[in-house]
A = this chain, B = another copy of it.
Amino acid sequence: MGKRGLLERLDAGEVVIGDGGFVFEMEKRGYVKAGPWTPEVVVEHPEAVRGLHREFLRAGSDVMQAFTFYASDDKLSHRGNEAGSKFTCRQINDAACRLAHEVAAEGDALVAGGISQTPSYLHGLGKKITQEEFKRQVDVFVENKADFLIAEYFEHIEEMEWAIESLASSGLPVCATMCIGPEGDLHGVSAGQCAVRMARAGAHAVGVNCHFDPFVSLEAVRLMKEALAEAGLKAHLMVQPLALWTPDVKKQGFIDQPEFPFALEPRILTRWEMHRYAREAYDLGVRYIGGCCMFQSYHIRAVAEELREERGKLPAAHEKHELWGGGLLLHTKPWVRARASKEYWSQLSPATGRPYSAAMSRPEGGKM
């Protein structure tokens, strides 16, 4: 018997846990270059990619997203990036799908293929050319037997509609997430209107990803949910936010903050903050709950642990983790043992260790 598909799971009301964004983590591990952010590592060091997929699988991810971010031919050779001269886009995307499948088979995970916004749209090349770009990527995913497709990281609802159309033509289930907050897309289309248009364009699950912290993102999803209800539309809800706090971030997302992308460490969420994220997402009705940039596998494990009762299971990596810091009960110091509880960790406001840092920064760039 084959594994159950995405819609089968979501339609049954199950929680589907996503994985985390790969580029930031692979950059820190020395396999992806910040700037181009291209995934040639899938060919150069496949064992490193396999390792990261496996961490997420063990942490509870139900989805292995093939690591093809920014892997279109034009981007690979963009601006003197060497990757383009060494590998074709096809080589990379095939390898990425293969790795995702390999690790997915170690568990019960689904393989997803994803596409993102394009230079073609931004340069005004029009619907036909933009969709051709989407189509080339979709073909690879279909050929490589992806279980479903994701349109993610879109800032303009119009381009998102074109993308959904392209994905839907594959016959596979389609997820669609924009990188927007409660203020809506870059053209001033509200979060609610975006949701309605994504659902009408054919997306089975809609929501947001990247650019904002989990709680800002959930606020945008809440607006989406209300708008869908008002429009009488049905779509699953999905969220894959940053693992970074962004209380100070404006409409353009964390890219405009002065700390992007190399000084974001103080903003990283703790596992306990992820428990809260998982609970609030679940309570809002979101059933596809994952992560984007800066998510590490232990963040996903926290999501899986928080929702262990709803899911009726704990992830494999839980064998190396006690709930709510229970492992500290073995500590020699009584005051460290006293930390082994949900009450302790869920109430702690962690010190930053940074007396020369402000809590917030002001976005740069202004009106663009």
Interface residues of A (CB under 8 A from B): 27-36, 47-48, 51, 54-55, 58-59, 78-79, 213, 244-248, 255-272, 296-298, 301, 316-317, 319-322, 325-331, 333-336, 339, 345, 348-362, 364-365, 368
Given contacts A255-B333, A268-B268, A270-B265, contact A317 B357 (CB under 8 A): no
Which residue of B is nearest A271, CB measured?
Answer: B262
The answer to whether B27 touches A298, judged by C-beta atoms less than 8 angstroms apart, is yes
The answer to whether B255 touches A345, judged by C-beta atoms less than 8 angstroms apart, is no
Bound-complex Cα distance A244 to B246 (A) = 21
The answer to whether B258 touches A262, judged by C-beta atoms less than 8 angstroms apart, is no
The answer to whether A79 touches B350, judged by C-beta atoms less than 8 angstroms apart, is no
Which chain B positions have C-beta within 8 A of A213?
353
User: What is the interface of chain A mostly: helix, strand, loop, or mixed?
Assistant: loop
Which chain B positions have C-beta within 8 A of A58?
30
Bound-complex Cα distance A316 to B45 (A) = 13
Which chain B positions have C-beta within 8 A of A260?
336, 339
One complex includes copies of this chain to the number of: 4
Between A297, A298, A320, A364, the greatest number of chain B beta carbons within 10 A of the residue's beta carbon is seen for A320
Given contacts A28-B298, A51-B51, A345-B262, contact A79 B330 (CB under 8 A): yes
Minimal beta-carbon separation of A106 from chain B (angstroms): 12
The answer to whether B263 touches A266, judged by C-beta atoms less than 8 angstroms apart, is no
The answer to whether A357 touches B365, judged by C-beta atoms less than 8 angstroms apart, is no
Minimal beta-carbon separation of A350 from chain B (angstroms): 4
Given contacts A348-B259, A355-B247, A359-B354, contact A320 B30 (CB under 8 A): yes
Cβ contacts A to B, 29 pairs, < 8 Å = A27-B321, A30-B58, A31-B320, A34-B321, A34-B325, A35-B328, A78-B330, A247-B353, A255-B333, A255-B336, A256-B336, A258-B339, A258-B351, A262-B271, A263-B345, A263-B348, A265-B266, A265-B268, A266-B266, A266-B350, A266-B352, A267-B351, A336-B365, A351-B357, A351-B361, A355-B355, A358-B359, A359-B359, A359-B360
